[in-house]
Structure 1
Amino acid sequence: MIRPCFAVDIDNVLGRAEPEVQRLFQELTGRLWPVGLYGSAGGLDASQLAPELLEEIFCRFHQESIPRLPLFPGAKQALTLIHRRYRVIIVTARRPYSRPQTLCWLERHGLPFDALYHTEEKTDIPEMITAAIDDHPHHIQAYRALDRQVFVMDQPWNRAIPHADVVRVSGWDALVQWLHVRHLSSWPKHIPESPTCRQLFSVHLKLPSLTPTGVSTEFTQP
């Protein structure tokens, strides 16, 4: 059976990266984190920080921060459920030299996945993506341009994105609940629900079905 393909981002989607970026900034500059600046890739890209400082933050993050990133609540359970129906591919804009640390982090947390891609343009990978979850406005817009089902992991830096053709979720429990309730008749029925799950997700009507066509079955070795 051909499984549809679900693309999953890492930083600020699977793992909580923003506090680590803020820590690096404070360590490198001796200053408090600037009010109104977001410690995400998108936030840093749009910031007025000196290029040399940005490069140092990115280098330090890739070299030392990845192993200590905490997993978001519900991420492992959600990916395990998603993997029963979907081919899970991890697609990250992290620099390629961080691949060993990234693989170790994924494996240490026991996250199921079929492939890992490092790329600045996530829609250029050799996969027929059916659905994707990301937090970065650039990648969200790229998936939207291909008319994919896009889930936006809610973060302050992506709230300007319109809701008309995306599903904004506030956590992994929310995503699983949306998939379970909205579209997938063969979705696993026994899904533990956190007490606040219904408060976490927003439902958007008239969304396209997740039923895929033409999904590649070629396995990409991580």
Structure 2
Amino acid sequence: MLETERLAEVRERIARAAKVARRDSDDVTLIAVSKTHPPEAIAPLIEAGQRVFGENRVQEAEGKWPALAERYEDLELHLVGQLQSNKAEVAVRLFDAIHSVDRPSLVEALARAIDRTGRDPTLFVQVNIGDEPQKGGCMVAELPALLDQARDAGLAISGLMCVPPAKVEAAPYFALLAKLARDQGLKLLSMGMSDDFETAVMLRATHIRVGSALFGARA
């Protein structure tokens, strides 16, 4: 199946899920996660109207997105993978949104980078929603303190992001993230990937991160 056919199918699935949830599908931002895929695989989606893309690694994004941004207008790039504090300034310069704010040292690094660059990317705190020690993200119990630290550092946190535990029903974790966001007065929810984005849409996701359903298996 061509990338453009996959894009049409994913958009249709988003629309159906939004209708079930009595939502406007325009309220859901589809992030096409293009990690490991070359520019020639990305270009057909851009030409089909997709404008929001996600990358997992700063270095990979540096290698392919500046040229794409020169060729195409109005692209929006999101960092959806972990961010090292020493890459904070590069990330702030390159990305329009960062979904993986998860620890005090990164909060401080991002605050300095935003002050130096004058750029103001949309920021999500990544929550380790299953409290899994092998995963990134702040633990659920630590979320209020991290949000306080971010506000004290001058960071505007807009939403929360999560990756539920693998091979279990995602809905309870998405519902918990939505509740945490409501409790903290945050409007944006980055949740849902290729296997579960319809569930995420029905549970009020504002951003879904879809890779393999658009690009096929990773190289």
TM-score (ref. length: structure 2): 0.31
Higher strand share: 2
Higher RCO (Cα < 8 Å, 6 or more apart) = 1
Higher helix share: 2
